[in-house]
Amino acid sequence: MDYKDQIATNLSVCTGLDKAQVEGLIEIPPKLELGDYAFPCFVLAKTLRKAPPMIANELKDSPELVKGFDGAVTVDTAGPYINFRIDRGVLAKSVVSEILEAGDQYGNRNIGEGKNVIIEFSSPNIAKPFHVGHAFTTILGNSLSNIYTRLGYNVIRFNHLGDYGTQFGKLITAYRLWGDEAAMQENPIDELTRIYVKFHDECKVSPEREKELEDVARDNFRKLEEGEAEEVALWTRFRELSLEVFEKTYARMGIKFDNYNGESFYSSRIPGVVKMLEDKNLLEESEGARVVKLDDLNLPPCLVVKSDGTTIYASRDLAAVLYRHEEFNFHKNIYVVGLPQQLHFKQVFAVLKKAGYDFADDCVHVGFGLLKFKDNKAFSTRAGNIIKLDEFLDKTTEKTAEIIRKNSELRGGDMTDEQIAKVSEVVGLGAVSYTYLKAGREKDIFFDWDDMLDFEGDTAPYLIYTYARIKSILRKAEDQGVKANADSVNCLTAEDEYAVIRSLADFKDAVVKAAESYEPFMISRQIALIARNFNRFYNNSRILNCDSAEARDARLKLCEAVADTLKSGLDMLGIGVVEKM
């Protein structure tokens, strides 16, 4: 039984409040002794004209509050709160049985069935290195895609490539002036980066040189927009070479996309967008450019066409939204793009709304913070001081391998080099992903090797190790011929056992909250709590050598439930597991 859902139903009947409102108000008490769920009565004070504690006391005796529970739920009050306490044995049986039936798909629901959700993430610029700055959008977007998929939505993963714009006029110019074909064949991204950096270095030589290069670059981009064969051929080559490199990184991280329509895809649709805005009398001239004014919304004008007649990000994004709604009739259109682009998306959505497209309300910008290292190194392709993501992942797996090898040596060298390499890849990549997802997405991230790879901290290595520890226990049970059954899990009522049960029960709500708030950390926080509770239980309890077969079986089934939940949660975060460490 879903006890929270039934409690919400009963409270809705007793209070007259909408069930959805009640669900949003139900809390989990800070201490187990206060119960399993709590309802604050403050919201009823104004309507009933009574003090919240008085309302709580009057409601607690209503037979409707415990309807459908067959005596498994008791009710009491604590000040303004109505507290609901579920029989520990009953809840243990319910939760563990549900998890064992669902396996590592625990947390799945069908609430999004028949609804299309577009999630745009990663979106690197072609002809530029995939650096650690791109990892935030890539990892966050992948996790949100996993979460929405698990909730039954039809997720379409968009990689809106940065494959258009004036920078390609610069790149075409740089290639013609300084390109090395042999270097292009050997390492295209490095060569394209080199000449792009050189373009900007040359612009610093003198104002005259800068004007000369910028004029040529603008002309080359104009030719590209007009479909000139030579410019299009160069651009196409840059794009294809870049995608080959990007795909290797995505494959390594276990990330797939359904759509690679970049900015260039929408170029041919922009005239239609401009005409639509003209027909609706929304376009105005401003210093030679064409804009949509948003003064009534306290927003600056949205630039649609620049003074030289070329397009800009906003015009391409407007075309993209219209295409996506026409093609997919989306329930949500989610952009996982950094916080600095917040104003841009407000303008784009506002223009759509002004133009009469109500689906603008279904477009969501999911912003995130900055990535920083201890030396506060910035990331700029123009300056050339970047940290490539693949190199960073390599370094992480190397450091992880060192730790795992030392631990293996302490156990007498029970892992081969091949096993260490495989485990280090999973744990190392998981450590990177978890670092981005363990806190609210709008917070800046400060990378620290020691913190990230701490096997006892709030890290992926700790969670993966906990999973591997449980699998080791289950293998030992199997080796001993123990075939545990779940008949006795209702005896899991001791404090340490129940703390694990309680945190497992809350996992499903964490998944829904993560989707509603676009915050995967709701899941990372919950599985971290589950792991901490389990390890406390593990350190204080005997499992295989219990006093009774019933207790042994119950605890083994609890281990199995925890392993399934950890695997489910880590999978939603885009993190793998290993059976042995």
Name the maximum alpha-carbon separation found in the chain.
88
pLDDT of residue 378: 42
Amino acid in the structure at residue 514: A
Q: Round to whole Å and give the CA distance between 78 and 516.
A: 30
One-character DSSP codes across 126-195: TTS--BHHHHHHHHHHHHHHHHHHHTT-EEEEE---B--SHHHHHHHHHHHHH--HHHHHH-HHHHHHHH
Write phi, then psi, for 533 (nearest 5 degrees): -65, -40
Give me 307's structure tokens.
Answer: 């003074």
102's CB contacts (< 8 A; 6+ apart) are 108, 564, 568
Unique residue bearing structure tokens 């079986």 = 553
Interacting residues of 468 by C-beta distance below 8 A, sequence separation 6+: 577, 578, 579, 580, 581
Question: Comparing C-alpha atoms, which of 525, 564, 563 is closest to residue 101?
Answer: 564
Q: Which amino acid is at 419?
A: Q
Taking the C-alpha atoms of residue 324 and residue 580, their distance in angstroms, rounded to an integer, is 44
pLDDT (0 to 100) of residue 381: 45
| pTM metric for this prediction | 0.91
Residue 328 falls in which region: left (phi positive, over 0), alpha (psi -120 to 50) or beta? alpha
d(CA 340, CA 366): 11
Strand (E) or helix (H) holding 304: strand 302-305
| Contact residues for 313 (Cβ-Cβ < 8 A; gap 6+) | 165, 263, 344
Q: Which long-range contacts (CB under 8 A, 24 or more apart) does 452-456 make?
A: 452/396, 453/396, 453/399, 453/400, 453/403, 455/403
Q: What are the tens digits of pLDDT across the range 206-229?
A: 999 999 999 999 999 989 988 899
Q: How far apart are CA 198 and CA 174, in angstroms?
A: 8
Distance CA 71, CA 90 (A): 10
- CA–CA distance, 501 with 166 (Å, rounded to integer): 57
Amino acid 375: pLDDT: 57
Strands 37-40 and 332-336: unpaired
CA torsion angle 475 476 479 480 (round to 10): -140
Q: Indicate the SS3 state at residue 554.
A: helix
Tokens of 312: 């800009």
Could you give the CA distance from residue 314 to residue 311 in angstroms, rounded to a whole number? Answer: 8
Closest alpha carbon to 580 in 474, 480, 433, 459? 474
Residues 6+ apart with CB under 8 A from 334: 117, 118, 119, 120, 144, 363, 364, 366, 518
Q: Considering just the CA atoms, what is the radius of gyration of the chain in Å?
A: 28
The segments of the chain whose pLDDT lies below 70 read 374-385
Exposed/middle/buried for residue 237 (C-beta within 10 Å: 0-12, 13-18, 19+): middle
Strands 283-286 and 332-336: unpaired
Cα gap 11→41, rounded to integer Å? 11
> Containing H/E element for 219?
helix 207-225
Q: Residue 397: CA atoms inside 13 Å, Cβ hemisphere, count? A: 17
